[in-house]
Structure 1
Amino acid sequence: MTLAILAFFGVLSILLFAVRGFLDQLPDVFASAGRARDAWRALKQARGEEAQRVALQAVPPPARQDEDPPMAA
């Protein structure tokens, strides 16, 4: 009987040690996830700005009202 009690509490202490180790790592996991999310958003925003800049460069500037329109060739 004594051996069974010692075995039970030995397994319990190992289990608690493992759970404590897991819980100690959670703040770092959440911080890493937050940094990854922020980097992903920054990447998507940079790609969107680049696409917008390329699209704006392809569009010719509007003609001024006081200038004559270009002549057809």
Structure 2
Amino acid sequence: MISRRYERIVFAFFMALFMSFIMSFIITYINLGFVEIFITSWLNAWGIAFICAFPIIVVVAPIVHKIVHKLIVKI
């Protein structure tokens, strides 16, 4: 198993993986429809999206976490 100290990085990795996978599929479908080159185009888009999404999530997730904690009422 992976050490707990890497939790933030592992979270960012899987969040980027799943979000980029799903979003690139949807956007590729909207732009091209199901054409002959769909799979190739989608996988190319997914690779680029993942490369962008991973570092963005690493940086942005802690900021979002702080904002959410300020907005949530403690009971």
Greater gyration radius:
1
Alignment TM-score, normalising by the size of structure 2: 0.35
Higher helix proportion (structure 1 or 2): 2
